[in-house]
Structure 1
Amino acid sequence: MSYIPGKPASYWIDSTAKIDDLPSGNVLSVDVAIVGGGLIGITAATLLKRAGKRVAVIEAESIGMGTSGHTTAKITSLHQLIYADLIDKIGEEKARLYAESNEAAIAWIAKMVEEEGIDCDFSRQSAYTFAESEKDLSNVEKEVNAALKLGLPACLVQETSLPFPIAGAVKFDNQAQFHIRKYLLHLAKNIPGDGSYILEGARVEEIEEGEPCTVKSNKGTVQATDVIVATHLPILNEGLFFAKSYPKRSYIVGARIPADRAPQGMFIGAEDKNYYSIRTTPYEGDLLLLVGGEGHKVGEKTDTEECYLNLEAYARDRFGVDSFEYRWSTQDMVSFDRLPYVGKLTPLNHHIYVATGMSLWGMSKGTMAGMLLSDLILGKENPWAELYDSLRATPFLSGTSIKENAGVATHMIGDRLKGLMSSISDVEMGEGKLVTVDGDKVAAYRDETGELHAVSAVCSHLGCIVNWNSAEKSWDCPCHGARFDCDGQILHGPAVKPLESLKGQS
């Protein structure tokens, strides 16, 4: 049997249509401009409009097609193994706030689904962090004890519905999963009207604080009293959030599986590295088994095809599936202390707010961030504000921060040596390669027809050298996570300008 890879698209996006009936127009003035139409932005917009504010959601592509549309869409407060570590690092009181805020986010999503009658495959599920070997069991046991201390719905189990033995798992009951884009599209349809707007295909290039603030995009200027920047990593460099977190990329494959062979619940391995995420979702009368993992820092792996192959091998071996319907990748910003940054852009900004650093658990944390941002703008007290304060002291001297910031410095300097001995003629069909042309660093890709696509290899964000991503056919920045297609167009921020095109190379 010949190998046929899954469709290179997120199932959440592929199974939903683009909304064509969102009114736009010449937006001149609103109360709150929200840059980014993912879960954070749409949650904040929903709450603010309900509070009587006029809002404008400004999205570079389409609603829910960015990071939110590429998630595993688990709605849970069980974030692999975190509570024992939080109690140790920040104390029991703050760890309890973290637990309560994530549980509140789950409850808010469930309430919205019920109130609005949202058809988004929402279902209550148990969530598990499982240890296959005895060496990871002690960490699972510590997590159970920590979670129980914080009032979370945790217990230790030795058996699950996974088709392979485990040493033990921490189980949280009454968690949930859903179809993220169906959920977002429903909420988005309620935003336009009464002075509120959604603008799709509007890539923001500049934001200026003032009275009012101005948000400039390729589709014009929006004026607003307040601005929320919910673009995964802020496109504004003030605040240095790119230096307080690092971008991590991971991969997902989807395979059809009969219900009687599918695991019940949501799962993630307890290992520090090389762990797998597992869940199912309804799919054409059966279920779609989603297996994720193979995470690495953005731009540090060229042969990304290997990541998909490893996931497929795991799914075949553990679940007996033999064909795959989907494969896609995603990325997230991981904060050095594992807590999101939610609040003001800088101490000098009074009307520009940000949310970033969801650290791989964006469904609960992103919803929480949208709720918190809404309260901040409305002047309401929120018990989570101090914990997630974007201006809090950042552990720059932690082991993680030293490693990641040193890695950025290495890329800023060392990557300029790549491709010094290569030329355009060395690039074969189907290959992306860094080469040097007249002393300049060039990112060159020759497609399957032999056509060359050549762009500057210098990232338009802060000048790092991009790296080729073979499976996605993209140029990825290893410093701060910006991604570009083979023609240099932006796939992922924080870059706001494309890579310089170098047409005429051969």
Structure 2
Amino acid sequence: MKNTSSLLPNESKSLWLAKESTPTFSSLEEDLNVDVVIVGGGITGINTAYLLSQENLSIALIDSGKLCSGTTGHTTAKLTAQHGLIYNDLINSFSEKEARLYYEAQSDAMSTYERLIKEMNIDCDLEKKDAYIFSDTGENADKIVEESQAYEKLNIKGQLVNELPFNLSVENALIMENQAQFHPLKYLNHLIREISDQGVKIFEDTTAVKIDTDSPRPIVHTRNKQRITAAKVIIASHFPFYEGIGLYSAKMHAERSYVIAAKSKLNKIDGMHLGIDSATRSVRLTKYNGEDILLIGGESHKAGKETETMKRYKLLEKFGKEVFGIEEILFRWSTQDLVTVDKLPYIGPLTSNTNDVLVATGFRKWGMTNSLVAAKVMKNTITGDVNPYEGLFTPARWKDHPRVREFAMEAGSMATEFIKGKLDHPRDHISGLEPDQGIHVEIDGQRKGAYKDTNGEVFIVDTTCTHAGCEVNWNEAERTWDCPCHGSRFTYKGEVFEGPAEKPLKTHDYKALDNLTSDESGY
């Protein structure tokens, strides 16, 4: 297949982050005392900070890295209540009432976005679009019919069709009308400036590591030993950095998915599209430098369980060439999302015995609307106002849910990954390590990870994840070590790239071993 990419080999770069300069902030250097501290500077944390800034509260917002640089900056940015095959499943797992509540929560979030964007005159490329789910192989054609029937039960405006507004044959497709798409960074950059002007204290490169809940007011401790005392703590850090007794590590799994942004010969498509067969495909248009650019996403898999990740991009490229005649790939990126056992996010008090620490996580790839749902639920919890959706998303719900068996299966899967990693004995030797390659090697009978950069420098890390002790695997597309148990990710230098891990991987000085042969050093 002819290479159509203008990117460097293995280069990952998000279109949303390419031209938008997010405001920067210094790290926290002193103790703070505020009404609310929000941990996590993505779309959930920023939306929440904005809503709370209207309530005359003192607020601090901290992020372990840079604002919007995580999942928020690597989305496909659809504002829709059509979240794949969800409503028939919710009816069967919960009830029609609760399935309808989920739809209303998402629709309310979309209306709130439109209102805020209009009131603040935010230029963020907001466009109304119909959303489609489709089955092109026929694998899930019957499920689309069932989902259409669920729409009818729930009074959701939709339409079952057998064609798409572009050249791809499908068995069935289901339209949800009057949805939307936007540029998330343009929206968030405006909100960041707004909350800063409103007095929200914002700190980047400030990592929260634990919460002391034994004090009269919770205290967030940072890696650099600062303390933030607050009446309320909101954990909006994607994966909860602090779990209490919530067992979130076992109640969710992390999934990675991939996106390419490309110029195409056939840009005359309309709407936002999601193929829900095994080879998932997400398709929409956006603007870049004044012209239409095609976004093609999909190829999901559980985090840490795929090492040949570049092939995922190649499969998206192949699909794009066959269906849309793509000519040049301008950007490609991957993202990580958390999926709960019952498909609903966890939003609300971290544990059932306190309202002082709140959490928002498990958005199942639909974080644009769910982030605002979460912001409104958590704001109402803090202000004491009733929110109609708080019971639906409460993190305490799993105890009584019929899918508790799936919780046990998820925990069992993680235990299997733990054991599998410990029993795996790598046979690769450092002598065979190529530039820009990562492999597992063995040092003195122990599993390690080695990466050689394009200048020939070798970086060696322990492959035991610092979160729960599972063994990490190499991700060639992102040059990271990824954990298959809970989704923690580390750079090839061992630094934490994505939580829940808080501590880096232990590193080894390869130069100290440079004068040894592979047999003598154990490689």
- TM-score bucket of the superposed structures, by smaller chain: over 0.9
Aligned to 2:382: 377
Structure 2: how far apart are the matches of 1:218 and 1:175? 42
Aligned to 1:117: 121
Structure 2: how far apart are the matches of 1:399 and 1:169? 32
Structure 2: how far apart are the matches of 1:130 and 1:162? 12
CA RMSD of aligned residues (A): 2.0
Aligned to 1:107: 111
Equivalent runs, 1:256-275 vs 2, <5 Å: 256-257=263-264, 261-271=267-277, 273-275=278-280
Tell me whether 1:236 sits opposite 2:242 in the alignment.
yes
**Once the 2 structures are TM-superposed, how far is the Cα of residue 425 of structure 1 from its aligned partner?**
3.6
Structure 1: how far apart are the matches of 2:27 and 2:493? 31
Equivalent runs, 1:27-106 vs 2, <5 Å: 28-106=32-110
TM-score, with normalisation over the residues of structure 1?
0.95
Tell me whether 1:353 sits opposite 2:367 in the alignment.
no
Aligned to 2:335: 330
Structure 1: how far apart are the matches of 2:284 and 2:242? 35
- Residue 136 of structure 2 contacts residue 172 of structure 2 at CA under 8 Å; is this kept in 1? yes
The residue matched to 1:211 in structure 2 has which SS? coil
Aligned residues: 504
**Once the 2 structures are TM-superposed, how far is the Cα of residue 71 of structure 1 from its aligned partner?**
0.8
Tell me whether 1:472 sits opposite 2:478 in the alignment.
yes
Out of 6, 13, 30, the position equivalent to 1:9 is 13
Identity %: 36
Out of 121, 141, 149, the position equivalent to 1:137 is 141
Give the letter aligned to residue 88 of structure 2. A
**Once the 2 structures are TM-superposed, how far is the Cα of residue 344 of structure 1 from its aligned partner?**
1.4
- Per-residue CA deviations over 1:75-96 (Å, capped at 9, x if unaligned) read 1000111111111110101111
Aligned to 2:433: 427
Structure 1: how far apart are the matches of 2:51 and 2:502? 28
Structure 2: how far apart are the matches of 1:24 and 1:502? 30
Structure 1: how far apart are the matches of 2:419 and 2:140? 38
C-alpha distance 285-195 of structure 1, shift in aligned 2 (>3 A): closer
Tell me whether 1:455 sits opposite 2:461 in the alignment.
yes
Aligned to 1:252: 259
**Once the 2 structures are TM-superposed, how far is the Cα of residue 413 of structure 1 from its aligned partner?**
1.0
Aligned to 2:371: 366
- Residue 22 of structure 1 contacts residue 192 of structure 1 at CA under 8 Å; is this kept in 2? no
Aligned to 2:347: 342
Structure 2: how far apart are the matches of 1:194 and 1:174? 33
Structure 2: gaps spanning 5 or more residues: 515-523
Give the letter aligned to residue 419 of structure 1. H
Structure 1: gaps spanning 5 or more residues: none
Aligned to 2:443: 437
Structure 2: how far apart are the matches of 1:404 and 1:138? 27
- Residue 12 of structure 2 contacts residue 477 of structure 2 at CA under 8 Å; is this kept in 1? no
Tell me whether 1:202 sits opposite 2:183 in the alignment.
no
Structure 2: how far apart are the matches of 1:16 and 1:222? 30
The residue matched to 1:144 in structure 2 has which SS? helix
**Once the 2 structures are TM-superposed, how far is the Cα of residue 144 of structure 1 from its aligned partner?**
1.6
**Once the 2 structures are TM-superposed, how far is the Cα of residue 23 of structure 1 from its aligned partner?**
10
**Once the 2 structures are TM-superposed, how far is the Cα of residue 222 of structure 1 from its aligned partner?**
1.7
C-alpha distance 138-22 of structure 1, shift in aligned 2 (>3 A): same
- Residue 32 of structure 1 contacts residue 227 of structure 1 at CA under 8 Å; is this kept in 2? yes
Structure 2: how far apart are the matches of 1:404 and 1:114? 43
Structure 2: how far apart are the matches of 1:293 and 1:419? 32
**Once the 2 structures are TM-superposed, how far is the Cα of residue 392 of structure 1 from its aligned partner?**
1.3
The residue matched to 2:174 in structure 1 has which SS? strand
The residue matched to 2:118 in structure 1 has which SS? helix
Structure 2: how far apart are the matches of 1:443 and 1:135? 39
The residue matched to 2:189 in structure 1 has which SS? helix
**Once the 2 structures are TM-superposed, how far is the Cα of residue 500 of structure 1 from its aligned partner?**
1.2
Give the letter aligned to residue 484 of structure 2. P
Give the letter aligned to residue 211 of structure 2. I
**Once the 2 structures are TM-superposed, how far is the Cα of residue 443 of structure 1 from its aligned partner?**
1.3
C-alpha distance 30-194 of structure 1, shift in aligned 2 (>3 A): farther
Structure 2: how far apart are the matches of 1:170 and 1:148? 12
- Residue 251 of structure 2 contacts residue 410 of structure 2 at CA under 8 Å; is this kept in 1? no
- Per-residue CA deviations over 1:455-490 (Å, capped at 9, x if unaligned) read 111111111110000111110000000001100111
Structure 2: how far apart are the matches of 1:153 and 1:270? 20
Structure 1: how far apart are the matches of 2:139 and 2:395? 36
- Residue 31 of structure 1 contacts residue 54 of structure 1 at CA under 8 Å; is this kept in 2? yes
Structure 2: how far apart are the matches of 1:293 and 1:169? 17
The residue matched to 1:162 in structure 2 has which SS? coil
TM-score, with normalisation over the residues of structure 2?
0.92
C-alpha distance 447-343 of structure 1, shift in aligned 2 (>3 A): same
- Residue 30 of structure 1 contacts residue 196 of structure 1 at CA under 8 Å; is this kept in 2? no
- Per-residue CA deviations over 1:348-379 (Å, capped at 9, x if unaligned) read 33311111110111111121011111111111
C-alpha distance 478-217 of structure 1, shift in aligned 2 (>3 A): same
- Per-residue CA deviations over 1:252-295 (Å, capped at 9, x if unaligned) read 0010236x633111000132x21100111111221110100110
**Once the 2 structures are TM-superposed, how far is the Cα of residue 46 of structure 1 from its aligned partner?**
0.8
Aligned to 1:493: 499
